[in-house]
Amino acid sequence: MAQNKMIKAQQSTTLICTVGGSYEPIVCAIQSTSPDFVCFICSVDDPATGNKGSYQQIEGRGNVIKQVFSDIKPTLPNILVQMSLTEEQYTILYVEPDNIDDICSKISQWLRERDPLTERFIADYTGGTKSMSAALVVVALDDEHIGLQLVTGSRNNLVKVASGSETVVPAAIEASRLQRRQHDALSVWSRYAYAEAADLLTKIPSPRDTHQRGQLQRALDISLAFSAWDRFDHHLAEKILLRYRNKLGNTHSELYNILGKLNQEGPAQEPMRLLDLYRNAQRRAATHRYDDAIARLYRLTEWAGQWLLRERANISTDNVAEDKIPPGLQLSRNREGNFQAGLFSTWELLAHYGDQSVRDFWVKNKNHLLNHLQTRNYSILAHGFTPLNESAWLQFLDWVDSQLLPVLFITLNGNKKYKIKNLPRQLPEYYQYYD
């Protein structure tokens, strides 16, 4: 803390100001801020008329400024002379006055060469064209190190502030800056990067306004909740989201219903976890992590068989009774001496003990499943060294969608105790939890 105070005390003040046709706002800004350095953003000469750009107000020779706009001739020297600025105390950025991209680029490039640890930046957007002012505001909103101000005063008309009434006031930008940074942080939800969103949100300074602070906290908490959900920590996800049930329960009740089934012991818990794993696999594929996605489909295929075997025949794959092993099916023993069934053997058992729908499924899909398992085995996450691609994912996914899930839903829809009629929704791709 002491070191931060020392750095702040050593900071010099740099004023960045847009320059137009009026000199009063520039002079007022310099007099009010007493900067150690000034960056003047000035327009270049007009290519059509050849009229001089606003840089004339800064470095034009002789009398170049009209004290009163109606004066016939200029009677005042440039602003450097009026403010007694030396060559070491200023720089000029020459910009196209109506090209926001050009102006933003040149300001940003200049700022990259400065040191925010030793300089305190103040941006004054009063002068210049609308594009020049807009560009400076855009840059300032994106940079926490820049304060924003304007010169205002009493007005006789909508053209300009009355001469002599100028005063410098800070611009109210905290809400706008918060909104921009929060929007940028939450935009990564589009690729289900909830943990990254939470990390970005924690780096946003806490706003003074109570409502804004609450909105930021909510965005952080909900990002953390979906991050937990995405890594299968359903209890933590529910714990966080329950804080907001009064606000979100009516419009987002499905979230709470799904989490309730995922966390509450009962008939619906395991099948809902199976379907949640399916959605998780889709999220991995959406970010092109196909090895991860296919590994999840493999686990889904294995787990679905295990669950169906317990539901249909009351057989647990980690302890298959010897008298339950059909002729011709060979199972190995585990360390405890119990017969155990792997993925393929699990489905062989299901075909033997299940109903006709399962037997038909197995006859039709036995070889297809072997092909998908072979593809999965090529993955570095299994037994191989080949990165899996989108084509492998789409083939496996198509099989799961058209063959595996229908078999699963025959059981789910055949018994009301599961209370699962359809796939749960995918986790959200955009933030929608405002007041």
The string of DSSP letters for 411-434 reads HHHT-GGG---SPPPPPPSS----
pLDDT for the residue 435: 72
- For residue 129, what is the domain's CATH number? 3.40.50.10770
Residue 427 belongs to a domain: no
Q: In this structure, are residues 162 and 68 in contact, taking their beta carbons and an 8 Å threshold?
A: no
Tell whether 16 and 88 lie within a shared domain: yes
pLDDT for the residue 165: 47
pLDDT at residue 276, rounded to an integer? 98
Q: Is the CB of residue 315 less than 8 Å from the CB of residue 348?
A: no
Is residue 116 included in any domain, yes or no? Answer: yes
Q: Cα–Cα distance between 261 and 127 in angstroms, integer? A: 61
**Are residues 276 and 414 both part of a single domain?**
yes
In a domain, 398, yes or no: yes
Contact 290, 391 (CB under 8 A): no
**Entry pTM:** 0.83
| Nearest residue to 255 via CA among 216, 293, 229 | 229
- List, for the chain, all residue ranges whose pLDDT scores fall below the cut of 70: 1-9, 153-166
Residue at token pair 């585990």 = 334
To the nearest whole percent, how much of the chain has pLDDT over 90? 74
Cβ within 8 Å of residue 24, ≥6 positions away: 151, 161, 163, 166
Q: Is 58 exposed, middle or buried (0-12, 13-18, 19+ CB in 10 A)?
A: buried
Same domain, residue pair 116 and 48:
yes
**Residues 244, 305: one domain?**
no
Q: Would you say residue 431 lies in a domain?
A: no
Last residue of a domain, one of 171, 190, 214: 171
Q: How many residues does the chain have?
A: 435
Assigned domain for 334 exists: yes
User: Does residue 240 sit in the same domain as residue 333?
Assistant: no
pLDDT at residue 121, as a whole number: 97
Q: Which of 213, 228, 253 is the last residue of a domain?
A: 253
Inter-CA distances, 416 with 168, 248, 253, 276, 412, Å: 70, 28, 20, 20, 8
Structural contact between residues 129 and 92, judged by C-beta atoms closer than 8 angstroms: no
Is residue 430 situated within a structural domain? no
Which amino acid type is present at position 1? M
* Gap between the Cα atoms of 43 and 97, Å rounded: 5
- Does some domain include residue 397? yes
Nearest CA among 95, 77, 99, 101 for reference residue 39: 95
Q: Retrieve residue 351's tokens.
A: 């075909």
d(CA 59, CA 38) in angstroms, rounded, equals: 13
| Segment holding 65, helix H or strand E | strand 63-65
Q: Would you call 149 exposed, middle or buried from its count of C-beta atoms within 10 A (0-12, 13-18, 19+)?
A: buried
Q: Are residues 206 and 296 in the same domain?
A: no
CB 52 within 8 A of CB 102: no
How many domains does the chain contain in total?
A: 3
In a shared domain, residues 88 and 132: yes
State which of 209, 227, 253 marks the end of a domain.
253
| Structural domain contains residue 264 | no
Average pLDDT taken over every residue of the chain:
91
Provide the domain limits for residue 188: 174-253
The three state secondary structure string of 295-360 is: HHHHHHHHHHHHHHHHHHHCCECCEECHHHCCCCCCCEECCCCCEECCHHHHHHHHHHHCCHHHHH
Residues 208 and 306 in one domain: no
- Element at 170 (helix H, strand E): strand 167-170
Question: Tokens at residue 311, please?
Answer: 């539901």
116 Rama sector, left if φ>0, alpha if ψ -120 to 50, beta otherwise: alpha
Rounded Cα distance, 58 and 83, in Å: 10
Instruction: Please tell me the predicted confidence (pLDDT) of residue 9.
Output: 53
- 197 and 149 in one domain? no
If asked whether residues 248 and 308 sit together in one domain, one would say no
Residue 182 shares a structural domain with residue 158: no
**pLDDT confidence of residue 5:** 47
Place of tokens 């803390």: 1
Asked whether residue 215 falls in the same domain as residue 107, the answer is no
